[in-house]
Amino acid sequence: MRPDTQSGTRLDRLFIALADVNRRAMVDRLTSGPASVSDLARPLGIALPSALKHLAILEAGGVVRSEKAGRVRTFHMKSSAFRGLEAWVAKRKAMWHRQFDALDQYLEETDT
């Protein structure tokens, strides 16, 4: 089965965005509300340029969005950030449930 290239690319970017501990910490912080770059960098002990690189990867992965007011750039979680991931996991979960149901049925039939 050939994967859907467009949704596969989005999912790849999302997995890449979440592959780093600092980016996951930023996501955790942003779930409680918007934050500036310095608010996100400070607790991680990373420099602002490093934080901006991480945030750019999160933005490219569709996890966050940003807005700039004057000199302050504020980041927000995107409400649709994990829809693709949830659908991907749900599809695999359904497959596993079908396989376990078939195994249960087989075991019941072989017991009798």
Compute CA 23 distance to the chain's CA centroid, rounded to the nearest angstrom: 10
Residue range 7-52, pLDDT digits in tens = 678 899 999 999 999 999 999 999 999 999 999 999 999 999 999 9
Give the H/E segment covering residue 112: none
- Domain holding 63, by residue range, is 1-79
What is the pTM for the complete model shown?
Answer: 0.76
- Same domain assignment for residues 107 and 62: no
Q: Which residues pair with 85 in a beta bridge?
A: none
Question: For residues 17, 39, 83 and 95, what is the CA-based torsion angle, rounded to 10 degrees?
Answer: 60
Starting at the earlier edge strand, list the strands of the sheet with 72-77. 35-36, 72-77, 64-69
Q: Which CATH number characterizes residue 46's domain?
A: 1.10.10.10
- Same domain assignment for residues 4 and 35: yes
Residue range 45-87, pLDDT digits in tens = 999 999 999 999 999 999 999 999 999 999 999 988 888 888 8
